[in-house]
């Protein structure tokens, strides 16, 4: 019995020591506000109080053929666009009434026909890093944002309206810009 106590006491002490020394996991909670995306609502150019849907919209990065998640031939009256955190400019191609015909030659892209009307949005900003927590790290806040529509011979996006009054974009709780079409 004496030997059992001599063996149990160190084992119990070891278990208690390990239990006390454990830390809770550092996991960034989903509810934690991280780097915000730019929110743009689409409005009717003729009735600027009314939102207006754009049909068969495809959005992809400029010089990038990857379609932005959630924007593959959708009908929408708003855009939620991530901004680059390693640059002060992000460009998107916003294509309305998008159609694609590969002419029954899927391996030959030289004869593909892409229909619709595409406009290029150039978003300029300055970046500021803000520490969130040890688990979440840093988030980027965007300051001095401007949204420009590249002019072409057939713009479907007509003009922009800044709703932030030059305030930093820190969250996704409200629309940041309106675009009229």
Domains of the chain: total:
1
Is residue 68 in a domain? yes
Question: Which pTM was predicted?
Answer: 0.81
H/E stretch holding 7: helix 2-21
Residues of the chain with pLDDT under 50: none
Range of the domain at 67: 26-180
- 8-state DSSP, 51: B
Query: How many residues comprise the chain?
Result: 181
What was the pLDDT predicted at 10? 63
User: Residue 149 falls within a domain, yes or no?
Assistant: yes
Amino acid 24: pLDDT: 59
pLDDT at residue 8, rounded to an integer: 59
Identify whether 15 is part of a domain.
Answer: no
Note whether residue 17 is domain-resident: no
* Whole-number pLDDT of residue 171: 87
Residue 79 forms part of a structural domain: yes
Does 18 map to a domain?
no
Q: Kindly state whether residue 171 falls inside one of the protein's structural domains.
A: yes
Looking at residue 18, what is its pLDDT?
62
């Amino acid at each position: 019995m004496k030997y059992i106590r001599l063996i149990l006491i160190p084992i119990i002490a070891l278990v208690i020591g390990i239990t006390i020394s454990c830390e809770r996991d550092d996991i960034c909670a989903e509810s934690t506000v991280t780097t915000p995306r730019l929110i743009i609502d689409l409005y009717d150019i003729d009735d600027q109080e009314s939102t207006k849907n754009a049909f068969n919209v495809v959005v992809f990065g400029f010089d990038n053929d990857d379609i932005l998640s959630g924007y593959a031939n959708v009908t929408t009256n708003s855009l939620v666009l991530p901004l680059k955190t390693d640059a002060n400019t992000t460009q998107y191609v916003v294509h309305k009434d998008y159609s694609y015909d590969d002419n029954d030659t899927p391996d030959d892209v030289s004869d593909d026909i892409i229909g619709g009307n595409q406009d290029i949005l150039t978003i300029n900003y300055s970046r500021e890093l803000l520490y969130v927590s040890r688990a979440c790290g840093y988030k980027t806040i965007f300051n001095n944002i401007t949204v420009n529509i590249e002019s072409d011979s057939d713009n479907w996006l007509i003009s922009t309206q800044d709703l932030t009054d030059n305030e930093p974009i820190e969250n996704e709780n409200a629309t940041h810009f309106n675009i009229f079409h």
